[in-house]
Chain A
Amino acid sequence: EPEVTQTPSHQVTQMGQEVILRCVPISNHLYFYWYRQILGQKVEFLVSFYNNEISEKSEIFDDQFSVERPDGSNFTLKIRSTKLEDSAMYFCASSAGWNEQFFGPGTRLTVL
């Protein structure tokens, strides 16, 4: 069964460093998303992406964040200068249409 994959599973970085989180969505899906979950808090929407552009972004998704689909398979989230409060589990999701979003296993980002 096709699934969303994410790498790495765990990323540790120093404050101020850039990180790139990678995702491979399900191959025939057209909509892509990033969410994050800070420990003990709700899962939060970051950004949605369709047709090679951002469809919607949340207030969290400021200038430090960017997304890219560099080729036909990968979907990346870049954080330019990480802050302590960026420590969270980051989930990538993809969907074929309106309804079902399928999630990857997540990348745990730890900023020291």
Chain B
Amino acid sequence: GEDVEQSLFLSVREGDSSVINCTYTDSSSTYLYWYKQEPGAGLQLLTYIFSNMDMKQDQRLTVLLNKKDKHLSLRIADTQTGDSAIYFCAESSAGNNRKLIWGLGTSLAVNP
């Protein structure tokens, strides 16, 4: 079945770039998403990329998609302490009513 995997932890220094990686198995994935969850809060949609794109940039966020390797990454430039959160990768396929398949989440710690 479909599966999404992420590394569990990432620690970076404030001002550095963070790169969070994700792999997925479903070759029919249509959209790939990054959600952010701050402590005690809900799931905030950060950005998403359509599967026919290689890259999407949105201010400090850059999403790279390697469809051949089924690899997705999220780069956060100039990481700030406010970026400390759990980042979830998720994918959906066109044929299954848009349900999202989730990774376990990567906990990003930003050190001053």
**Cβ of A55 and Cβ of B97 under 8 Å apart?**
yes
Q: Bin chain B's interface residue count.
A: 20 to 34
A104:B97 contact, CB within 8 angstroms: no
Which single residue of chain A is at the shortest CB-CB distance from B40?
A105
A56 & B42 in contact (Cβ 8 Å cutoff)? no
Most buried by A among B4, B35, B96, B98: B98
Q: Which residues of A contact B50 (CB under 8 A)?
A: 99
Interface residues of B in 23-59 (CB under 8 A from A): 30-31, 35, 41-45, 48, 50
Q: Would you give the 0/1 interface string for B75-98, flagging 1 where the beta carbon is closer than 8 Å to chain A?
A: 000000000000010100010111
For residue B88, which residue of chain A has the nearest CB? A43
Judge whether A45 and B42 touch: CB under 8 Å. Answer: no
Could you tell me if B42 and A100 are in contact, using CB atoms closer than 8 angstroms? no
CA distance A105 to B59 in the complex (A): 25
Query: Which of B4, B48, B88, B103 sits near A99, CB closer than 8 Å?
Result: B48
Nearest-Cβ distance from residue A29 to partner chain B, whole angstroms? 12
**Is A91's CB within 8 Å of the partner chain B?**
yes
Interface residue? A65 (CB, 8 A):
no
Q: Which of A35, A50, A105 contacts B41 (CB 8 A)?
A: A105
Using CB atoms and an 8 Å cutoff, list the residues of chain B in contact with chain A: 4, 30-31, 35, 41-45, 48, 50, 88, 90, 94, 96-104
A residues in contact (CB < 8 Å) with B: 31, 33, 35, 41-45, 48, 50, 55-56, 58, 91, 93, 95, 98-106
Can you give 25 A-B contacts (C-beta < 8 A)?
A31-B98, A33-B99, A42-B4, A42-B102, A42-B103, A43-B90, A43-B102, A44-B102, A45-B100, A48-B98, A48-B99, A56-B97, A56-B99, A91-B42, A93-B43, A98-B94, A98-B98, A99-B48, A99-B50, A101-B45, A101-B100, A103-B42, A103-B43, A103-B45, A106-B43
